[in-house]
């Protein structure tokens, strides 16, 4: 099936008759951040699915954030973004039954010590550099300095891009599994998303089936944002040629 970003097909909107209110798993308390299996779709026309989710479970919270994604031409297995004054990293570590397993791999608060950038920042985020940062950088690199220099072709082996992303996330729990309904602006372009996340693949697959989403492509944020910006083509790009 053609991947997002597209409108929801009618046959998919009518799918998914499995009850959503019966818990099937119980999560143990976890003190550390665990890698999570994720399944996410992007597109428009999710109203019917959203109504089904809201009928099955109350909205637990609504969160808004402004984030800056740093994107490359090739890899979509790294999630690198700035949020609330911190540079955050996640890495794709596994794929299981159409799911992606992402692991947080670091967080650095601005200003970042210049000496930490070559040894910590770029190896963690896999953003290769061809040349060192210029001497004009201060000892403690501010967010503004970083954004200016990291997207310069002369400083990186591959060109990097910036995307301004606004998110409004509504959170639910279906069958003990976290679910999100997101309304998003990517450089001003509006898009919607529904996500299922859990440390346990079985939980995600159960809710995915209950919502009738088995035929959809799993699209993480870095890939979706790259497609919106035109950095990476849609899977059906040939159909427009």
pLDDT tens for residues 158-196? 577 899 999 999 999 999 999 999 999 999 999 999 999
Q: How many structural domains are present in the chain? A: 1
Domain containing residue 160: CATH number? 2.40.320.10
Give a yes or no: residue 168 inside a domain: yes
What are the CA-CA distances from residue 103 to residues 88, 94, 157 (Å)? 11, 9, 25
The pLDDT of residue 132 is 56
Give a yes or no: residue 207 inside a domain: yes
Give the confidence band of 139 by pLDDT, cuts at 50, 70, 90: confident
pLDDT at 223 over 70: yes
Give a yes or no: residue 155 inside a domain: yes
Give a yes or no: residue 241 inside a domain: no
Q: Pick the more confident residue, 15 or 236.
A: 236
Give a yes or no: residue 171 inside a domain: yes
The pLDDT of residue 113 is 81
Burial-class residue 213 by CB neighbours within 10 Å (0-12, 13-18, 19+): buried
Give a yes or no: residue 54 inside a domain: yes
Give a yes or no: residue 1 inside a domain: no
Burial-class residue 180 by CB neighbours within 10 Å (0-12, 13-18, 19+): middle
Q: Pick the more confident residue, 170 or 15.
A: 170
Give ∠ CA 119-88-166 in degrees, rounded to 5.
145
Domain hosting residue 114, numbered range: 6-236
Give the confidence band of 86 by pLDDT, cuts at 50, 70, 90: very high
Give a yes or no: residue 17 inside a domain: yes
């Amino acid at each position: 099936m053609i991947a997002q970003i597209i409108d929801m097909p009618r046959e998919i909107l009518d799918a998914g008759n499995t009850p959503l209110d019966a818990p099937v798993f119980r999560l143990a308390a976890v003190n550390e951040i665990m890698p999570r299996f994720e399944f996410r779709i992007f597109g428009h026309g999710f109203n019917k699915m959203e109504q089904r989710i809201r009928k099955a479970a109350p909205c637990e919270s609504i969160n808004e954030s402004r984030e800056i994604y740093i994107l490359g031409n090739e890899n979509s297995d790294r999630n690198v973004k700035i949020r609330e004054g911190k540079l955050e990293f996640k890495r794709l570590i596994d794929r299981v039954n159409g799911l992606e397993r992402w692991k947080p791999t670091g967080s650095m608060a601005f200003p970042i010590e210049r000496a930490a950038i070559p040894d910590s920042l770029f190896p963690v985020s896999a953003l290769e550099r061809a040349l060192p940062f210029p001497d004009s950088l201060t000892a403690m690199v501010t967010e503004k300095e970083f954004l200016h220099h990291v997207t310069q072709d002369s400083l990186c082996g591959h060109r990097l891009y910036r995307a301004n992303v606004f998110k409004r996330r509504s959170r639910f729990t279906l069958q003990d599994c976290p679910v999100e309904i997101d309304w998003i602006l990517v450089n001003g372009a509006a898009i919607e998303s529904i996500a299922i996340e859990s440390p346990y693949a079985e939980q995600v697959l159960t809710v995915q089936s209950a919502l009738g989403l088995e035929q959809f492509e799993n699209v993480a944020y870095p890939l979706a944002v790259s497609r919106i910006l035109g950095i990476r083509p849609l899977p059906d790009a040939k159909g427009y040629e």
